[in-house]
Amino acid sequence: MLRRIALLGAAAFGGLALTLAAALVHLLRVPSEVRPIAEPGRHTVRILATRQVVPGPGLPAGLALGASNNNLDAVRHDDGFVYLAFRTAPHHFANPETRIVVLRSRDEQRWQLDGEFSLGHDLREPRLLSYHGRLVLFVSKLGSNPLAFEPKGMARAVREEGRWSKLVPFGPEGAIGWRARTLDGVPALVAYQGGGSAYGPGETRMRIDLYRSDDGLDWRLWDPAHGPLYEGGGGEADLGRAGDDDYFGVIRVESGDDRGYGSRLCRAPADRPAEWRCRSDPRKYDSPFVFAQDGEVYLLGRRNLRGDGRFDRGVGPAHGPLRILRTVWNHLSYSLARKRCALWRFVPETEPGEAARDPAVRLAFVLDLPSRGDTCFAAVLAGERPDERIVYDYSSPLDGDDLRWIEGQRGETRIYRHALRFEPRDGASPGG
């Protein structure tokens, strides 16, 4: 977030600096949290256990780690191993010493070093795709300037015959891969372009696309006739569905568009996952991960503890050349607040199949995971029981102070494993 504020501040005119200096006095007086009321649906969700994994006693001897261990993904592969990929670096911000580390384990307690990747500049968003015996790692390349956001496209490596290939360039120029998964057994990749304009003074025009593949290596647009999922100030996005119902999706819109700042909550018909219809939400669910559990669709994402949690503070014009004032205020307010990694539930407000006419859906708060400071970027695995899920995420140390986000980004972060149980509630309907 420090780099974002620097970029935004440099882009604004001189009088803005004085405005921001005065605003800091107000922003540092963080209002009390208005904690959302938990709204369980068909299930009561319990946290069974939380355990620190990175750094931890189960890691291979001699594994060098930076202070910042964050952006991650995890997958259970056909060979019986769980693979965990994460970014390790001196701090949260862009750095040429960044490495992507891949570990594997059968019991998720004792881990083997399976691969390490570095390219002499920042690497982020490691994504693992397991498909028909093939394991593919996608990463997004960035620059080395900690005060700049410089997307340089994606790269991928393939694990075959017990070893990883080298990272090779892949995908559209400047694209950032956000989520790799399967949709109805088909490999799917969500990626966005235009991130380099996200924190400048002009209008942000990012594009989010949904791709599909037959083998996890060669990709094409899911629906070329439809085009992108979204265009505007949004980037990170994910989707999922339960059974044969509609897809539910979320887009992080921190740079704003003609409908405001925050997020877009979306639906798509079951047979047309690229046809998103969305509504606005003033909250921002950073690093979203969408998954289904026993007929309901859930979201894991970062929760803002400032006031009622909204990202858009409504200060300054939403359109025109002075829109930068509103953007800077939103980012400063968000950066100086405390955070949690939280579980939310999609609540449909129309029947399945009506998404093309009415995207009515909202997110209901379920619970916070043990987390604080700089946190979230979750991945979810099936547990040993059908009613259990395993969540990997990162956080500032759980035994430390409850830091503001910017303080957490400048300090140590660790990777944690949480076991969740989804217990059916008697007589509960999917809508709660």
Rounded to the nearest 10 degrees, the angle between the axes of helix 323-335 and helix 2-11 is 160
Going along 349-396, which residue ranges are E strands? 361-368, 376-382, 388-395
- pLDDT over 70 percentage in the chain: 85
**Residues 270, 271, 276, CA angle at the centre, nearest 5°?**
65
Question: Judging by beta carbons within 10 Å of its beta carbon (0-12, 13-18, 19+), is residue 208 exposed, middle or buried?
Answer: buried
Question: Cα–Cα distance between 79 and 9 in angstroms, integer?
Answer: 49
**Residues 58, 408, 326, CA angle at the centre, nearest 5°?**
140
The backbone torsions φ and ψ at residue 52, rounded to the nearest 5 degrees and listed phi first, read -80, 135
Which residue type is seen at 212?
Answer: R
Window from 136-140, 147-151, 326-330, 423-427 with minimum mean pLDDT: 147-151
Type and span of the H or E element at 238: strand 237-240
| pTM for the predicted model, two decimal places | 0.91
> Half-sphere exposure of residue 399, counting CA atoms within 13 Å on the CB side?
3
End-to-end CA distance of the chain: 36
**Residues 352, 421, 273, CA angle at the centre, nearest 5°?**
30
Give the class (CATH, top level) of 2-424. mainly beta
Give the pLDDT confidence of 167-212 residue by residue, as tens digits: 999 999 999 999 999 999 999 999 999 866 556 555 678 999 999 9
How many separate helices (H) and strands (E) can be counted in the chain? Answer: 4, 26
Question: Three-state SS for 405?
Answer: helix
Give the pLDDT confidence of 114-152 residue by residue, as tens digits: 999 999 999 999 999 999 999 999 999 998 776 667 789
Window from 18-27, 46-55, 105-114 with minimum mean pLDDT: 18-27
- Where in the chain are the domains? 2-424
